[in-house]
A and B are shown apart, each in its own frame.
Chain A
Amino acid sequence: MTVPELHEITLRVNGVAYRTRVPARRLLSDCLRHDLGLTGTHVGCEHGVCGCCTVLVDGQPARSCLMFAVMAEGCEVTTVEGLAAPDGTLSAVQRAFAECHGLQCGFCTPGFLTVLTAFLTENPKPTEEEVVEAISGNLCRCTGYQNIVAAALRAAEILREERAEEIVAAGDGDGAEPERAREEAAE
């Protein structure tokens, strides 16, 4: 058997630059877990159906089992490990999952958290139907969808509250802005 050719790649994961050597066939999911030791990204079906391995590639959710590590050369990758603040404070989406019992066995959770993090940035005020559509590519085998949907809606609420507080804290403008922000958050 011939030894496969190795490719040297550089990628930033959760703000940290990594350089590693991988065979071309190394999936990004395996590179994250085995080469970089970031085992928060879970591997389920390995053909793009379950969504457990979803990470953010340059801010966009992508299946890490449907990308080769060599394709991520130079990319900015965010895994579930990168969602919390550097001091360990959980993100709004993570807190909402804890609050609403959105995780059961936890296997599918990293995929749901990354997908919803990107989704709520794009759509800060989703309807329940839009949430269902956003997570339609992720499978939860505990059938915990009800609480996951509730968590997503709660996360959107927390994010709006935080944003309103930020505007109040900034305190400038015509004075009406914090009021509007609070009203919007409450809706």
Chain B
Amino acid sequence: MKPPPFTYHAPTTVGEALGVLAELGPEGKVLAGGQSLIPLLNMRLAVPPHLVDINRIPELAYVRVDAGGVRVGALARHAELERHAGAYQAVPLLRQALQLVAHPVIRNRGTTVGSIVHADPAAEMPAVLALLGGTVELARKDRRRTVGAADFFLGPLESCLEPGELALAVHFPHLPGRTGTAFVELARRHGDYALAGLAAAVTLDEDLRVAHARAAYVGVAPVPLVVDLTDAVRGVSAAGERSWTLAGRLAQSEVQPEADIHATAEYRRHLVGVLTARALHQAAQRALPEPGPDRTETTP
């Protein structure tokens, strides 16, 4: 189908964009990658009178690695972040999750900040931000503010972004040492929205036993749901195969899945249990110290 008519604005600086957005107020909608917004327009599920295209603002197209983590500008495409070696090193969860975001072609245009602002509870990047306790930088003509993930997501497709505001960047903090992460989900076709899934982070103590474990779930709650699973797996050996199912059971009691054409609520709850065990095991494995050079360089 075809999108409804709208007035098109293409500012070339952040200042100009904030000016236009201030003037338009609730009538204005920001267009970045368009990979979520344009389908909504084509299906006439959204009818914004004005679109403010930020694609001509090159200063927003960046991925920067700093001491605290990774900062991603509003115009950085998923594909760029996915391929960024420094970002992967600082926050491996970014690439682990991005590989599951839609299809490679969609990732070429879709932006990470756009995906987070879109606040789809079934999308991967909001869950990553929630799990890491990241922040979103918002700007309007007369004010700037930084909002933590816990306060940013209000409901399905609803963030705390106000009319006239532009999300300039998101910041993904890196995790403490001896922490491993994983993103595990089940979708009907690779790249489709997951029936259920989660991002997990496991921190080990000096004896390589679980000290802390938490997860952020997609597709089973109105917002990315962060659950602390430490109580179910504290002291579990990272090398062990078993003992993760208890965490799955704890997670099952925390989620509120809904039924739709693809899966019943009960099936989604079942998936949460299975996928939680799988993700925690994977994350714990990755938290183990890398084998030293003396262990890898064995003579054949």
Seen from chain A, the residues whose Cβ lies within 8 Å of a Cβ on chain B are: 4-5, 7, 23-25, 27, 30, 46-48, 51, 54, 57, 60-63, 65-68, 70-71, 115, 119, 133-134, 136-137
Contacts and interface: CB of A to CB of B under 8 A. Distances in A.
Contacts of A137: 102-106, 191
B42 A47 contact: yes
A134 B39 contact: no
B105 A54 contact: yes
Given A47-B43, A133-B190, A63 B6 contact: no
- Interface residues on chain B, size class: 20 to 34
Contact of A67 (B34, B189, B190): B34
Contacts of B2: 25, 27, 30, 46
13 contacts: A25-B5, A27-B3, A27-B38, A60-B109, A61-B108, A62-B108, A62-B109, A66-B34, A66-B38, A67-B34, A68-B3, A68-B53, A136-B104
Interface string B148-168: 000000000000000000000
B267 interface: no
Nearest to A61: B105
Contact of B109 (A5, A30, A63, A134): A63
Given A66-B38, A70-B10, A71-B34, A23 B5 contact: yes
A60 B108 contact: yes
B61 to A, nearest CB: 13
A47 to B, nearest CB: 4
Interface in B104-130: 104-106, 108-109
Contacts of B109: 57, 60, 62-63, 66-67
A24 B53 CA distance: 11
A71 B53 contact: yes
B105 A7 contact: no
Contacts of A61: 104-105, 108
Given A66-B35, A137-B191, A25 B106 contact: no
B107 to A, nearest CB: 9
A110 B242 CA distance: 48
B190 to A, nearest CB: 5
A71 B55 contact: yes
A25 B103 contact: no
A115 B105 contact: yes
B223 interface: no
Contacts of A71: 31, 34, 53, 55
Nearest to B41: A25
A24 B43 contact: no
B240 interface: no
Which 5 residue pairs are nearest across A and B when measured between Cβ atoms?
A: A137-B103, A24-B8, A47-B39, A61-B105, A66-B38
B7 interface: yes
A70 B43 contact: no
